[in-house]
Chains A and B, each alone.
Chain A
Amino acid sequence: MQITLGPALYHWQPERWRDFYFRIADEAPIDTVVVGEAVCSKRMPFKQDDIPAVVERLEAGGKRVLHASLILVSLPRERRQTRELMQAAEVEVEINDLTCLASLRERAFAVGPFVNVYNEATAGFLAARGATRICLPPELPLPAVAAIAAAVPQIAVEVFAFGKVPLAISARCYHARAHKLTKDNCRFVCERDPDGMPVKTLDGAGFLSVNGVQTLSDSCASLLCDLPALGRAGVASLRLSPQSCDMVAVARLFREVIDERIAPADAERRLGEIYPDVPFSNGFLHGAPGHIRWEASGALR
């Protein structure tokens, strides 16, 4: 089983973003790295200048590099950026919206977790258009994952295995709204929350995280204990989504479990030391509410 690092979803400062990928390139046992800005087109200029150096370093580190498209494309500028990415000859793309298929012709591509692939017929349709790998939507339960992997064996099926779970995208920026600003004049306040802005219930329970126009879970997905079942289901790759923690250590841990050098339960304990004070969840995979931490003995909150 392979490991993919999804695109950094948060608005990290340019140096931090660049140095994060440099370290991943040099040290992490990761097969594929997805770079680029998927969440907010206003953030793109902050990354643009560093992308060539990041890609070069990642490739020198033996990583395959994919370029992520935007999740929600509505402005003329966003359409243009999307089209240019799809037509850039030298890069491999991961599409996060079907808008991309309008300008993607006759070439192989990867499908990100923001495209609605819920069944084998949709996966087959995308495979016929050139999709070679699909990261399935995080809310898919294991039987659906297995059915898709079995029916479309030419596709490398990936699941969202680590990170706060992306749950929604909007035209409205909730970071700007929380700061009483408009999206057009947002002052990039999302930069102040490199691991998302916590959203708690009125009684103080952790619930969600806001990342600009995107809403994620408060809990962090961890499918470490599900890796044997995912292997049996035909999953080819695990997606780790960057959080503000030691992602090299996270990747090493997943690699050790894949290689059966450490028991999944022990690994998850260590994961709690690498990314402390965040509850882990895997409910979606078990057909349960996504926030649930499901164990073989039954559901535990």
Chain B
Amino acid sequence: MELICPAGTPASLEAAVEAGADAVYCGFRDETNARNFPGLNFSRHELRKGIALAHRHGVKVLVAINTFARAGSFGLWQAAIDDAVAAGADALILADLATLDYAARHHPTQRLHVSVQAGAANPDAIRFYAESFGTRRVVLPRVLNVMEIASIVRESACETEVFVFGGLCVMEEGRCSLSSYATGQSPNMNGVCSPASHVAYTEREGQIVSTLGGFTINSFGKDEPAGYPTLCKGRFNTPKGSGYIFEEPVSLDAAVMLPALREAGVTALKIEGRQRGRAYIAGVVRSFRNILAALDEGHRAPISGLAAMAEGQASTVGAYRKGWR
């Protein structure tokens, strides 16, 4: 299985290449990619240099242009596609029908991947993308268990890529407007979720209260670490009681699922975290490289060192294990 690693900066790209990534994925420094955070991503020049460096080491570069194009401004997304192709990207990761259609028509030989943001969750949807745009790989939404992934692999001519580590969406990717409901900024339109610009921490009656767009997302005692207020991982009140009604503040760690994912026939494993620093990238990539090497040699994976990388949070195997739903 290929190991696909995030690169939010040229330094992270270098760290991922050194640590043994088979491919890195990155985006331009604008709203065309779904990690449009301040201080992150690549200029055109940086992308060309990064691709050259990666290719010298036999590592592929996948360019994510995976937001939904703003009406009246499609030129920005067209330029991102044209420039990524010209820079020698090994594949483009796209979500919008508009960008897929444009890329397929104007760059027919370019390898295209269906972004997780497209939410292609079954073989029929995957076939639609492959037949319409010649897409070669689909990044599966984090709503499927391993059995379902195996059945998708059996039925699809398309390669599959799945997330194994990092941030965990509990809603289907690409169809969530929770963030924009609270802040006006959404993954689909702006490439951000629960943006830091709308986060505040205040002290109230001895508690640290985290808010997003003015809505209280969580409240922590003095001795509790005050986590980041990602909307779907907040504590709320319902008539059935209060608590983490969507998901606990956990991140994904599917290292223990690697044998099953390999058995299922998955082509590539993806690590989330373009917003994370090079130490994270190097540590996580190296850990997964070791696990994969052990698997190749036929013994059970030694799982270690990943817990410390999980944003100081507990981890979960998410939807991969039946019962999560």
Do A and B assemble together?
yes
B197 near A: Cβ within 8 Å?
no
- Give Cα distance in the complex from A214 to B201, angstroms: 29
- Out of B124, B238, B325, which one reaches A197, CB within 8 Å? B238
Check A125/B74 contact, CB under 8 A, given A118-B68, A178-B238, A289-B181: no
Number of interface residues of A (CB under 8 A): 70
Scan A160-171; emit 1 where CB is below 8 A from any B CB, else 0: 000001011111
Task: Give chain B nearest CB distance to A277 CB in angstroms.
Answer: 15
C-alpha spacing A288/B214, complex, angstroms: 13
Give chain B residues whose Cβ lies under 8 Å from the Cβ of A101.
128, 132
Is A184 within 8 A of B71, CB to CB?
A: no
- B68, B95, B118, B232: residue with the most chain A Cβ atoms closer than 10 Å: B68
Residue count of chain B within 8 Å CB distance of chain A: 68
The residues in B between 120 and 173 inclusive whose CB is less than 8 angstroms from any CB of A are: 120-125, 127-129, 131-132, 143-144, 148, 151, 170-172
In this complex, the member of B69, B102, B174, B246 whose beta carbon has the largest number of chain A beta carbons within 10 angstroms is B246
Q: In the complex, what distance in Å separates the CA atom of A82 from the CA atom of B125?
A: 11
Using Cβ atoms and an 8 Å threshold, which residues of chain A touch B132? Answer: 101
Which residues from A are CB-within-8-Å of B170? 170, 172
Chain B hits for A125, CB < 8 A: 97-98, 101
Pick from A79, A168, A288: contact of B176, CB below 8 A.
A168
Contact with B along A60-86 (1 / 0, CB 8 A): 000000000001111110110011000
Does B290 touch A at the CB level, under 8 Å? no
Instruction: Considering the complex, give the chain B residue whose CB is closest to the CB of A283.
Output: B184
**CB nearest to A139 among chain B residues:** B177
**Interface status of A205 (Cβ within 8 A of chain B):** yes
Compute how far the CA of A73 lies from the CA of B152 in the bound complex, rounded to whole angstroms: 13
Q: What separation, in Å, do the CA atoms of A194 and B281 have in the docked complex? A: 46
Q: Given A97-B125, A144-B70, A203-B216, is A198 in contact with B178 using a C-beta cutoff of 8 Å?
A: no
Q: Contacts of A178 on B, CB cut-off 8 Å?
A: 238, 240-241, 245
Residues of B close to A75: CB separation below 8 A: 148
Cβ of B188 within 8 Å of any chain A Cβ, yes or no, is: yes
Contact present for A169 and B236 (CB under 8 Å): no
| Count: A-B pairs, CB below 8 Å | 213
A80 CB, nearest partner CB in chain B, Å: 10
With a cutoff of 8 Å between Cβ atoms, the chain A residues found around residue B120 in the complex are 98
Check A119/B74 contact, CB under 8 A, given A168-B172, A168-B175, A289-B184.
yes
Asked whether any CB of chain B lies closer than 8 Å to the CB of A252, the reply is no
- Contact yes or no, A202 B188, CB < 8 A: no
Question: B208 to chain A: closest CB distance in Å?
Answer: 12
Contact A139 B186, beta carbon cutoff 8 Å: yes
Interface membership of B230, Cβ < 8 A: no
CA distance A102 to B102 in the complex (A): 20
* Residues in A neighbouring B102, C-beta threshold 8 A: 121
Q: From residue A196, how far is it (CB to closest CB) to chain B in Å?
A: 11
Pairwise interchain contact A201-B236, C-beta atoms closer than 8 A: yes
Q: Which residues of B contact A242 (CB under 8 A)?
A: none
Q: What is the CB-to-nearest-CB distance from A31 to chain B, in angstroms, rounded to a whole number?
A: 25
Q: Chain B: which residue is nearest A178 at the CB level? A: B240
Q: Is A154 an interface residue (CB 8 A)?
A: no
Contact with B along A171-194 (1 / 0, CB 8 A): 111100111001110000000000
Contact digits for B170-205, partner A, Cβ 8 Å, 1 yes 0 no: 111011111011111010110000000000000000
**Contact between B69 and A199, CB atoms less than 8 A apart:** no
Contact B125 A120 (CB under 8 A): no
Contact between B236 and A170, CB atoms less than 8 A apart: no
**Chain A residues whose C-beta falls within 8 Å of the C-beta of B265 in the assembled complex:** none
Is B319 an interface position by the 8 A CB rule? yes
7 residue pairs A–B, Cβ–Cβ below 8 Å: A72-B119, A99-B122, A118-B70, A119-B69, A119-B96, A122-B97, A144-B71
Instruction: List chain B positions with a Cβ less than 8 A from chain A.
Output: 68-72, 74, 95-98, 101-102, 118-125, 127-129, 131-132, 143-144, 148, 151, 170-172, 174-178, 180-184, 186, 188-189, 209, 213, 215-219, 232, 235-242, 245-247, 319, 323-325
Which chain A residues have a beta carbon within 8 Å of chain B's beta carbons?
A: 71-76, 78-79, 82-83, 97-99, 101-103, 114, 116, 118-122, 125-126, 137-140, 143-145, 147-148, 165, 167-174, 177-179, 182-184, 197-205, 207-208, 210, 215, 217, 283-284, 287-291
